[in-house]
Structure 1
Amino acid sequence: MKVLITGGCGFIGSHVVERFYKEGHKIYIIDNLSTGNLENIKVKHKFYNFNIADKKCEEIFRANKFDIVIHLSAQVDIKTSLEHPYLDTKSNLLGLTNMLDLSSKYGVNKFIFASSAAVYGNTEKVPVTEETLSNPIAPYGMSKSVGEFYCKKWKEIYGLNTLVFRFSNVYGPRQGVSGEAGVISIFLKKAIRGENLVIFGNGKQTRDFIYVEDLVDGIYKASMCDKCSGVMNLSTNTEVSLNQLVDVLSKITKINKVIYKERKKGDILRSRLDNTKIKSELNWNTKYCFEDGIKNTYNWYLENSEKDKISKPEKNFRFKLVNLYKEHSSYIENIILFLIMLHVNLKLSFFNENILHDPIDYNLIYIGIMGLLYGRKHGIYATVYSLIIYITVFLNSGGDLIVFLYEPKHLIHVSMYLLVGVIAGYSIDKKNLEIYSHKLNISSLTQKYDFLKQIYNETRIVKEELESQIIDSEDSFGKIYNIVKKLDSLEKESVYNSSIGVIEEIMKTTKVSVYSINRSEKYLRLKAKSNVTEFDIPVSMKIKDYIEFSEVIDKQKIFINRKLDENIPMMIAPIVDNDTNKVIGVIIIHEVSFENLTLYYENLFKTLVNLISGALLKAYKYEQSINDKRYVKDTSILKTKEFNEVIEKIREKKDKFRMNSILIRVLDKENNYVKIDKMISKGIREEDYLGVGKDGYIYILLINTNCLDINIIIDRFKKKGILAKIISGECDNTAVEECAFTEKEYKI
């Protein structure tokens, strides 16, 4: 199956990915890597690096048709939810609703939502069951509680099979140090580093710690259970205090010191989740005791902390200096150039006392260079530095600061510096802004292109796989062959019966019917239909009253209800006799799911119609070739054996398709078969049967006859001098007489 895991690069998600991959499923991951790490994933998968609330997610759903969605992506830090509730709500609810919407829209079979014990809040009574009212004390728990409500309503409104897991405190390898559930990882890392452990409170507060592998096992089993839905606690149903946690850690590694601080406001005192429901419904149980789970987690942290130490680069002075220059190069270059210009101006003033009145002002060049290179900000800096140079040279030449402020020529110099600095800086800033804007557009288009290219490649791979299944796969051919082989019969009633099941199975639909055309070519008579509730269709239809049927019969082409008119069938196909080039019946598909409205589906229907037509024509020709063996000479009356076989086929049709039939006995002891045949055959339809019973009487088998019309038929026979009586059927208040046809053999 195709499994999408949101947040699949995170702590829990990476373990879920590994389990589903080991079980042989195709893995797809959506993760923005805000807390996840691609290095956690070591198995084959498809990865999409963006937010779960992104509109691009729809392209992923459309291209892949997921069977299961496991929604683990969330903001899980309770501290963050308290400090930034808006961000917590945005992260945990917008993404969820997007995933729910796309899952229902694209036919996901199972949606699993990761909730939390935080929805219960501070409960007085433990263990808490799924029926305990939610009373979260932090925005994180509130968002999870609202998320559960969304899942519930999506099931009620859209029919999406949703399951909510309320996780207790999960721990294990790859866990970070943020959030309440990270207390074990925090303690382990501090213990490995030789740091003090800090407990807020007296350490008697308890948590229901569950090892990540046990949690993943519960998720996997639930995903394979179609009936599992609603809300379930996923926990160990065991309380472990923080003091007990320290005791277990002290048996594994040396604990430096435990420091007790004031209890945090709103901290939950006791937490224990009842897991009776998941145990009974999934036959699930924990495999790891707390001590073994802690040992496994400690070993992982120990191994990875050693890797971190080895992999840290050795930062020497030169390395720091290079980094410092890269970060502040523009400021450093501006100051260096300022010092150079100051030195040059002071040197020149030594040889030329009137340098300030020189027509070439090198400070203007300096200001222009800095403004054009680094923009308005550094142009202003260069202007200030140039003023410092100008004033310094002026004072060094014997000038007075008071005089400087009152002489207009100095004001002109200052104005020129400011003007050059602002203009040069503004022009380059504008240019840089345009370049940056173009880069953003290019980057955005590149991302869109890369994304669409990725979706295209995935779609192409799926297309090639499907083509391979259709063209090369022996299993696919074998499956279709086994289904179509059901049509391999020389009895036309058997072919009619089998055609319904064949179309239902191959075309993935539940509402199919087959009609034959009567001799006058004016009516359609129902021969077989799907056995589903609320599928009542007429047993007889006048062709000219239905434009669609008339066009199908006249043009001998398949009709497709492209306008999706709910009052007419979705597909109608003619059954054509190639020898006479006449339509002898029609095959109708009344309902089709929207995703099957494709050219492939239409072509598949054409192929099936041809197969069914061929099977029916073969059965008709066979019956015609043995008419003298099946029928009483010079009549259309079936002999006893053949009539018994027909009745058995009709009985099967009644049981399978709920199609009513009635058996009538002709009360004529003369047994003049030729005479009776001439009198009766014109008064019944061609799909009805005449036959000789074991007692020598002639019987009439009326197919799909309305019980309200049966008296009319009997009166019609009576006017012709033929007495008849109902022997069996489903008409109310009908007396069933004893005759040679026993109830066991012939009750229709």
Structure 2
Amino acid sequence: MKVLITGGYGFIGSHVAEQFYKEGYEVHILDNLSTGKQDNVSIKHKKHITSITDPKCKEIFASYQFDFVIHLAAQVSVANSIQNPIYDAEANILGLINMLQLAQQYNVKKFVFASSAAIYGNNTNLPLNETEIPQPIAPYGLSKWVGEQYCSNWETQHKIDVINFRFSNVYGPRQTSEGEGGVVATFIAKAHQNETLEIHGDGSQTRDFIYVKDVAYAIFRATQSFITGTYNLSTNTQTSVFQLVEILKAQGMSLTTTYTNAREGDILHSSLNNTKVKTTLDWVPMYTIDEGLANTYLWAQEQQQKRKKKETRQAKKKYKFPNWLIQSKSYLENTLIFILISFLLLQLNLPSMSIFIFGVFYIMAIGSIYGNQQSFTSVVLSFLLLVYDYLHRGREAISLLYDSTFLFQIVTFLFIGLLVGYSVQRKNDKISEQYEQLQELQVRYQFLEDVHTEVREVNEELQFRVKNNEDSFGKIYSLIKELDNLEPEKIFTNTVMVVERVMNSKDVSIYVLNKNHTYLRLTAHSEFTRNEQLQTSLKVDETPYIQQIIATGQPFINRALEPNVPLMVAPIFYDQEIRAIISIGKLPFENFSQYYENLFIVVKQLIQSSLSRAFEFIKLSEDNRYIESTNILQMNTFKEILAAKKEAKDLYGIPYHLLTFTVEEANLIDISKTLGNMLRETDYLGYNHSKLHVLLSNTNEVDLPFILKRFYNAGFEHAVDEKVYNL
């Protein structure tokens, strides 16, 4: 699976990239390197160096088809947002909109947006809940709040799953002094440089500091869950700046402090309530402030040692000429060559015309080699040589101004210098322009080559999987065919077989939830569980994982491997209510993975779709399905259900019993009401030729005597009759 992390070379983004890489994802990073550093990321990844507003982003989305987008790229400085609110809005709003549009267009499964505690402003109702009304002080907080509204709009209008995480003050390795949480990085950096810590305000202001690895793991967990909406991501604690200094001193740092005026836009106290994310996402911060600062300080020490080694290596390098000397190299070469040749010519005592011809050729030669600037320098040098030659021969300087030959020679120098210099410079500019175009084309070609290579690799991998997984299409085809039915009981029976095949499990159970949401009745299960003590009913208020499913409407995955709890459970909805659950008790160890979790959800959706069609059909055909004014099925419908029960018994050993009573047709309405109160929702009644048939689902020999006694006490004589199936 592929994940795109915008701002992935930044402080938080680099840790998020590492988290996804550890989990086996193909990591892509999109960053313009305005604040991020490529050195922050050492894992294998695909890099896309561009802005989140660049039209080139569309090519990236189209080429790679990302599963998840983690949007961390932003302008993160409160102070900068006050000084330049336009840039803040461009980076934090327009960039987000571009990412949302592309995520929608290219079917991204989940979009995670990094919001901020800054949206709450100076609210004193601490710890702050997600329900508090945003009151941002600075443009930074305002842009984050607007970003949340865009995310919510996209989720509603375009059906894309979005999570808004409101970060408290994140700190940890690789953090710079930029952004909201930079106080930790600033303090540690100044401590290493033996500088005085400048504290804005009196030091009593508090923040909710959260370690960066806790943030990275929460983001990953969110992509693996079914939650959407807005959540605080914090530790739900307050740490003052003064306490922060004391903790750093306890780590062995020598610190001196000074106090200045509070910064504009800063809030006094901040603490976010993280109850919602802990209960919904099953996540808790693992690092205390002391542990996090210790790790951050250790990292800073390692970085300082690396810098010292680098400075030492650079100091050992050979001396380099200063830049001004390197840049004037061509002028020095030109002048030295001219002086040397001129000295030789003057020693030969050649006529003035020879000096003039030398000047012409020299200007042409130097102009052709170096271009316009050195061509003009050659004109000046040739002019000085010519003047010196005339004066050396006894001419007066003032007379040269009236000498037409001298003036002609000077004009010739200028003309040739300008002509050659302009021509060569034009040629060099053209070459330079073409070289830049070539570089641009090479970059684009490399990008397309990378895309081509990636597509080819994906194509080869897909062909390999298809070739080596010969029944993949058969699984999908059988799944669709087996669930293509309009009788719920038949679908329940076939569902067991489908889930067994797709999930490679022999421990599948299906429970139906009663109307009051108090009990679940076992309606189908695998043959593997025939001889096990499988619960035929589950009481909701005694089963925590069922309570969680009913409360959230989301599947349950037993990642903690709790005993006597299924590994995977998914709800089946109809008409916005949970009607049943599918439960997988056991799986091969290698199949308890994210791939099979996703596969389970796909199967669940297909089953839910089939059951919805069946329930809708029953709803529309009630007049033909039931005897009027009763809950007694017409005989043809009853036989279909009985056939499904018989098939389930043959395939999986799911027991059932059929009771037959002789009744008067005129009493069917009263009998229907009486038996309706005695039977479970998974039991059925059928009537034919004065015979009332009662189909007891999932009823074994042990249960039967108690059920018969209930019927007897109600005044019904009974007979077990399997032959009704052949009527």
TM range (shorter): 0.5 to 0.7
1:568-590 CA distance string (max 9 Å, x none):
xxxxxxxxxxxxxxxxxxxxxxx
Q: Aligned residue for 1:238?
A: 237
1:611-640 CA distance string (max 9 Å, x none):
xxxxxxxxxxxxxxxxxxxxxxxxxxxxxx
1:6-58 CA distance string (max 9 Å, x none):
22232211211222233343333223344333443343433333333333433
> 1:654·1:660 contact (CA, 8 Å) conserved in 2?
no
1:172-208 CA distance string (max 9 Å, x none):
1122232342221122122223333333443333332
Instruction: Calculate the aligned-residue CA RMSD, in Å.
Output: 4.3
Q: Rate the CA distance shift 1:411–1:238 in 2: closer, same or farther, 3 A.
A: farther
How far apart in 2 are the matches of 1:364 and 1:77?
A: 62
1:742 aligns to 2:704 (yes or no): no
Q: Rate the CA distance shift 1:690–1:457 in 2: closer, same or farther, 3 A.
A: same
How far apart in 1 are the matches of 2:468 and 2:43?
A: 28
Q: Aligned residue for 2:106?
A: 106
> 1:349·1:397 contact (CA, 8 Å) conserved in 2?
no
> 1:334·1:382 contact (CA, 8 Å) conserved in 2?
no
Q: Aligned residue for 1:271?
A: 270
Q: Aligned residue for 2:69?
A: 69
Q: Rate the CA distance shift 1:493–1:404 in 2: closer, same or farther, 3 A.
A: closer
1:338-395 CA distance string (max 9 Å, x none):
244245546655764964x545343444433443333323433444454455556666
Q: Post-superposition shift, 1:104?
A: 0.8
> 2:79·2:265 contact (CA, 8 Å) conserved in 1?
no
Q: Aligned residue for 1:544?
A: none
Q: Post-superposition shift, 1:169?
A: 1.8
Residues 426-441 of structure 1: matches in 2 within 5 Å? 426-441=422-437
How far apart in 1 are the matches of 2:276 and 2:44?
A: 34
Q: Aligned residue for 1:333?
A: 330
Residues 493-512 of structure 1: matches in 2 within 5 Å? none
1:471 aligns to 2:467 (yes or no): yes
1:181 aligns to 2:181 (yes or no): yes
How far apart in 1 are the matches of 2:156 and 2:483?
A: 41
Q: Aligned residue for 1:447?
A: 443
How far apart in 2 are the matches of 1:225 and 1:103?
A: 18
**Larger Rg belongs to:** 1
> 2:81·2:140 contact (CA, 8 Å) conserved in 1?
yes
> 1:146 corresponds to which letter in structure 2?
V
Q: Rate the CA distance shift 1:399–1:111 in 2: closer, same or farther, 3 A.
A: farther
Q: Rate the CA distance shift 1:414–1:271 in 2: closer, same or farther, 3 A.
A: farther
> 2:78·2:265 contact (CA, 8 Å) conserved in 1?
no
> 1:161 corresponds to which letter in structure 2?
D
1:290 aligns to 2:289 (yes or no): yes
Q: Secondary structure at the match of 2:202?
A: coil
Q: Post-superposition shift, 1:401?
A: 5.8
1:417 aligns to 2:413 (yes or no): yes
Q: Secondary structure at the match of 2:9?
A: coil
Of 621, 624, 646, which aligns to 1:662?
A: 624
Q: Rate the CA distance shift 1:42–1:409 in 2: closer, same or farther, 3 A.
A: same
> 1:31 corresponds to which letter in structure 2?
D
The share of aligned pairs that are identical, in percent, is 38
Of 368, 376, 394, which aligns to 2:372?
A: 376
> 2:200·2:262 contact (CA, 8 Å) conserved in 1?
yes
Q: Aligned residue for 1:154?
A: 154
> 1:367 corresponds to which letter in structure 2?
I
Normalised to the residue count of structure 1, the TM-score between the two structures is 0.61
How far apart in 1 are the matches of 2:442 and 2:432?
A: 15
How far apart in 1 are the matches of 2:399 and 2:149?
A: 79
Q: Aligned residue for 1:303?
A: 302
> 2:214 corresponds to which letter in structure 1?
D
Q: How many residues align?
A: 533
> 1:122·1:269 contact (CA, 8 Å) conserved in 2?
yes
Q: Rate the CA distance shift 1:140–1:652 in 2: closer, same or farther, 3 A.
A: closer
The runs of 5 or more residues in structure 1 that have no matched partner are 507-650, 666-688, 695-724, 729-735
Q: Aligned residue for 2:257?
A: 258
Q: Secondary structure at the match of 2:190?
A: helix
> 1:54 corresponds to which letter in structure 2?
D
Q: Rate the CA distance shift 1:26–1:663 in 2: closer, same or farther, 3 A.
A: closer
How far apart in 1 are the matches of 2:389 and 2:492?
A: 106
Q: Post-superposition shift, 1:320?
A: 3.9
Q: Secondary structure at the match of 1:470?
A: helix
Q: Secondary structure at the match of 1:181?
A: coil
Q: Aligned residue for 1:116?
A: 116
Q: Aligned residue for 1:144?
A: 144
Q: Rate the CA distance shift 1:412–1:255 in 2: closer, same or farther, 3 A.
A: farther
> 1:418 corresponds to which letter in structure 2?
L
How far apart in 2 are the matches of 1:418 and 1:471?
A: 77
Q: Rate the CA distance shift 1:380–1:218 in 2: closer, same or farther, 3 A.
A: same
How far apart in 2 are the matches of 1:119 and 1:381?
A: 63
How far apart in 2 are the matches of 1:302 and 1:741?
A: 88
How far apart in 2 are the matches of 1:116 and 1:397?
A: 85
1:64-85 CA distance string (max 9 Å, x none):
3322211112233445545554
How far apart in 2 are the matches of 1:85 and 1:320?
A: 46
How far apart in 2 are the matches of 1:317 and 1:422?
A: 46
Residues 348-367 of structure 1: matches in 2 within 5 Å? 348-349=345-346, 352=349, 355=352, 358=354, 360-367=356-363
Normalised to the residue count of structure 2, the TM-score between the two structures is 0.63
1:630-680 CA distance string (max 9 Å, x none):
xxxxxxxxxxxxxxxxxxxxx989866854563899xxxxxxxxxxxxxxx
How far apart in 1 are the matches of 2:21 and 2:240?
A: 35
1:194 aligns to 2:194 (yes or no): yes
How far apart in 2 are the matches of 1:258 and 1:387?
A: 68
